[in-house]
Amino acid sequence: SSGINAEWPLRPGGRIGIIVAHRMQAFGMKTVGYDPFVSASSAAEMGVEFLQLEEMWPICDFLTIHVPLLPSTKHMLNSSVFEKCKKGVRIVNCARGGIIDEDALLENLNSGKVACAALDVFEKEPPAADSPLLQHSNLIATPHLGASTAEAQTRVAKEIAEQFLALRDGKSTFGCLNAPLLRGALSE
């Protein structure tokens, strides 16, 4: 079986989810995803079948997570969700620590419900060296290095500069939470 991979988010601002979906499709995986800001037709244009989260859990062989840590996403993957997942699901979280309830993940790794997990983010960073989760033979743990490449640093610098120019010119900015305050400071 080529497997089913679930991705979220899928919106253009969620660039990583889209990139991962395309890579998984290259390996013959059917990709399904969820994003509250993307329509089923937009997802289909990316080759992703749009599903609600509750529809994804029982069918996915792989779950990759691409969400920010917000009150609504804290412990998004928890005991209740793991119960709904297919036995042997594999989980990758390179987004933010806290999205996965680590106690529930450990319990489900121990039971075999979760076959394996790969994490480069943890609720408490750095995680304790004697953490039972870190010691689990079916966990791959790496340091959180996603933005540590020269390319990522260049892209971030360019995006920040573009946002300042947009603010200066009175245009909208994506992801800038304090835009009104910055506009005022730039106009002084």
pLDDT, tens digit (0-9, with 9 covering 90-100), for 126-152: 889 899 999 999 999 987 766 667 787
- What are the CA-CA distances from residue 22 to residues 31, 78, 133, 150, 182 (Å)? 9, 27, 30, 23, 36
Q: Look at residue 44 in the predicted model and tell me its pLDDT.
A: 87
> Pick from 147, 81, 141: which is nearest to 114 by CA?
81
Q: Look at residue 12 in the predicted model and tell me its pLDDT.
A: 43
What DSSP character marks residue 119?
E
Catalytic-role residue among 7, 90, 96, 102: 96
Q: Look at residue 8 in the predicted model and tell me its pLDDT.
A: 52
Low-confidence residues in the chain, pLDDT < 50:
1-2, 9, 11-13
Q: Look at residue 90 in the predicted model and tell me its pLDDT.
A: 95
Number of other CB atoms surrounding residue 16 within 10 Å: 15
Catalytic-role residue among 125, 159, 162, 168: 125
Phi, psi of 77 (to 5 degrees): -100, 110
> Pick from 120, 123, 8: which is nearest to 60 by CA?
8
Is this structure's pTM higher than 0.85?
no
Q: Is 96 a catalytic residue?
A: yes
Q: Look at residue 152 in the predicted model and tell me its pLDDT.
A: 73
Q: Look at residue 117 in the predicted model and tell me its pLDDT.
A: 97
Catalytic-role residue among 11, 75, 136, 144: 144
